[in-house]
Chains A and B, each alone.
Chain A
Amino acid sequence: MSARESILNKIGSALDNAGDKTARAATAAARIQTPPKNLIPARARVAPEDQVQMFRDWAEEVSATTDRVETLDDLPAALAGYLSSQNLPSEVKSSDDPILGHVDWAQLPTLTRKTGIAEETDTVGLAVAFAGIAETGTLVLHAAPENPTTLNFLPETHVVVLPRSRVTGDYEATWNRLRNELGTAPSNLPRVVNWITGPSRTGDIEQKIQLGIHGPRRLHIIIVDEA
């Protein structure tokens, strides 16, 4: 008997007095098909504009910084301004997200933007969020050919562009949007979905919180109203 069979048999015999396996399989499949509704905290059930503010408040509470601009045309200047305020080089390794393709980067020739995966030498990663969740100030990003995951973790500074229309109240809204946009089959789920709430932190030395142990030391979020 394989380890798999042996383990499943042991589970089965422990559970069998409460009904047989066929019934269990049917119940499980049905629950996945028609899941019960989640209890969603009321906290984020507010007007869209208040959700944006709530998102910023929670994100800042966990040491992210936020900025807000009107259009994508404002993005290069906002990005360059942030980088210089942190004494960082005007150089980003960026996702190739279509939204960033609409930006006129040439208007700011001093800012260098290269696309691709992040490498050890890259100091700033630029990405586009799939969603921003007001409930806890959490960003949602997901892997795709144009959105390499390394951009979110390897560089010391992570700058994330968040279109204002992508701010939602709760996590559930994001799962629904992913299913609507990418399809409901399990294999349609992106290889990685990242929820990011603030920069990297640790409390492992005497329980004192310090930022930037392995992932980014800084997380800067630029909300774009019209994108």
Chain B
Amino acid sequence: MPQSVNPMVEATSIQFKSNVKKALVDEQLQKALGNIKIGFVLNRKIASERLEEFEALRDRARDIKTHTIAHLDAYLEIYQQNVEASGGHVHWAQDDTEAREIILSICQSADAKTVTKGKSMIGEEIAINEHLEENGVEPIETDLGEYIIQLRGEAPSHIIAPACHVSKDQVADAFRETHTDLPEGRSLEEPDELLAEARAMLRDKFINADVGITGANFLIAETGTSVIVTNEGNGDLTQTLPKVHIALASIEKVVPTLEDTTTLLRVLARSATGQEMSSYTTFSTGPRRAADLDGPAEYHVVILDNGRTDLLAGNFSEMLRCIRCGACLNHCPVYNSIGGHAYGWVYPGPMGAVLTPGLMGLDEAADLPQASTLCGKCEEVCPVRIPLPSLLRRWRDQVYARDLGDWQTKWALKWWAVFAKRPALYHFFAGPKMRMLASWAKKQGHLKSIPSLKGWTNSRNFPAPQGKTFQQMWKEQKK
């Protein structure tokens, strides 16, 4: 049985800065992060360019989500009616505790010993694995990435590629440590050997599981359908073979119709991995029908709030459009420098920096909204056009208003204000400094080290000033 030391329970968003320091010097992590740029980013570009309607479809996708969120209670009620009409059950959970209790009690009614799991960020959010284990039910992650991090006792570091921080050799180590029934001297050098071993190990788990838990990318009001989007096929084995299927979702996953879902699917995979469509998109409606030969006898959906209604009420409703593609992570210079774990909870990158303070409370995650250069790339690639930089700024305003920032920042801002309000004073100090920096840098065009700006120059070059301040140049232009 995989040992689980899942750090989810203890979120570390509050110590973001020290997490970052560790991440920046983690050589293996830095190497792994390089893969994202060549993989996801390039492939998204290719996929988006070869569908001429892609930009227009993003507008449609945004409008569908905006409309649904503006009528959220109505669509959720229609959704529930239709799930029940096809023989399924809907359970509502206000927070993680309620969700865990609901899931455990379904598992206990099914006398479950083992539970297979498809990848679910809601499952991570509510830390369901620990709760099941504590109560004698063994959860087995079946998505390869999730399986790897479960063996390593880690949290996911990316919302669609949970083990993207792990190297092939580390996977081999984890397999050797856990699959102790297999011959010690076996070769695990090649990726296909790792793949074959994972496939073989998980086969029995799929077949013997009593309950299958999956996430849900969408809930369709029109038909009471839950949708999963996967590439491995693990989600389908998870939800087809056991006698009970539980789908975990949150309130904002609902969309009106099959056609609306289709529009969202046209932008989801292209934004996420750059695929035209993921390998498996599965629309599930209710339990096994009377004459069916397979499929689960029970079908449950858990709908979680866990702070989302607060986002809706608190000027962050745009965040509820998110369809969890991960494009904002892949394109973020900050995420690409520090990886997912530094963010300290289940949602990293720009979407995580907006979502986490909303779901955990700003006190627990006040540094996350600062973890952005506001370069705008995230908004540029977001399939549902969430204005992530504006939302980050909204959180920054609250951090300042509630006095949650650190004293250095506040002190620096105060002094900045003193100078900014007094142009002459500003020029008196800035003019000589610009000339000095420009003459230091002279040829290279950048500075490798500035004593008073070590925080910057330790990890980056400082672009050299032109030698004149903006005010000087303005004056000269006017002449």
User: Which A residues form the contact surface with B (CB < 8 A)?
Assistant: 2-4, 6-8, 10-15, 18, 21, 24-25, 27-29, 31-32, 35, 38-39, 41-43, 58, 61-62, 116-117, 120, 135-138, 143-145, 148-150, 152-154, 171-172, 175, 186-187, 189-208, 210, 212-216
Contacts and interface: CB of A to CB of B under 8 A. Distances in A.
27 contacts: A11-B312, A15-B73, A42-B53, A117-B294, A145-B293, A150-B240, A175-B258, A186-B85, A187-B286, A189-B86, A189-B285, A192-B295, A204-B143, A204-B145, A204-B162, A205-B163, A205-B195, A207-B36, A207-B38, A208-B191, A210-B191, A213-B234, A214-B202, A214-B233, A215-B233, A215-B236, A216-B233
Contacts of B92: 2-4, 7
Interface string B233-265: 110110011000000000100001111101101
Interface in B219-235: 221-225, 231-234
A186 B223 contact: yes
Contacts of B283: 189, 192-195
Given A206-B191, A210-B192, A214-B199, A25 B263 contact: no
A117 B56 CA distance: 42
B114 interface: no
Contact of B225 (A4, A6, A148, A189): A189
Contacts of A193: 282-283
Nearest to A116: B293
B70 A18 contact: yes
Contacts of A11: 72-73, 76, 251, 309, 312
Interface of B: 32, 35-36, 38-40, 51-53, 56-57, 60, 67, 70-78, 82, 85-86, 92-94, 98, 142-145, 148, 161-164, 166-168, 171, 191-192, 194-195, 198-199, 202-203, 206-207, 221-225, 231-234, 236-237, 240-241, 251, 256-260, 262-263, 265-266, 273, 275-289, 291-295, 303, 305, 309, 312-313, 317
A8 B77 contact: yes
A11 B71 CA distance: 9
B284 A7 contact: no
Given A35-B259, A206-B168, A200 B94 contact: no
Contacts of A172: 259, 262
B203 A191 contact: no
Contacts of A216: 233
Contacts of B288: 191
Contact of B78 (A3, A21, A29, A153): A29
Nearest to B312: A14
A92 to B, nearest CB: 16
A16 B192 CA distance: 55
Contacts of A202: 144-145, 195, 231-232
Contact of A186 (B237, B285, B303, B312): B285
Contact of B142 (A7, A199, A214): A214
Nearest to A3: B92
A153 B73 contact: no
A201 B78 contact: no
A148 B293 contact: yes
Contacts of A197: 275-281
A199 B199 CA distance: 14
Given A189-B223, A215-B279, 13 more contacts: A3-B93, A8-B73, A11-B72, A24-B73, A25-B74, A29-B74, A42-B53, A61-B276, A191-B289, A194-B282, A204-B161, A207-B161, A214-B233
Given A14-B309, A27-B71, A31-B67, A191 B232 contact: no
Contact of A7 (B223, B265, B295, B305): B305
Of the listed residues B53, B98, B276, B288, the one surrounded by the most CB atoms of chain A closer than 10 A to its CB is: B276
Given A10-B305, A18-B70, A216-B233, A149 B276 contact: no
Nearest to B144: A204
A35 B260 contact: yes
B282 A41 contact: no
Of the listed residues A116, A193, A202, A204, the one surrounded by the most CB atoms of chain B closer than 10 A to its CB is: A204
Contact of A32 (B60, B256, B262, B295): B256
Nearest to B83: A186
Given A6-B94, A10-B305, A204-B145, A39 B284 contact: no
B32 A206 contact: yes
A169 B168 CA distance: 40
Contacts of B221: 28, 32
A136 B232 contact: no
A40 to B, nearest CB: 8
A72 B192 CA distance: 37
A14 B307 CA distance: 13
A42 B51 CA distance: 9
Given A8-B73, A215-B233, A203 B240 contact: no
A84 to B, nearest CB: 23
A208 B39 CA distance: 9
Given A7-B92, A28-B256, A195 B236 contact: no
Nearest to B199: A213
B161 A31 contact: no
Contact of B262 (A7, A29, A38, A196): A38
B277 A195 contact: yes
Contacts of B287: 191
Nearest to B257: A35
Nearest to B291: A145
Nearest to A61: B276
Contacts of B67: 31
A131 to B, nearest CB: 13
B282 A195 contact: yes
A132 B129 CA distance: 38
A191 to B, nearest CB: 5
B257 A39 contact: no
Contacts of B202: 214
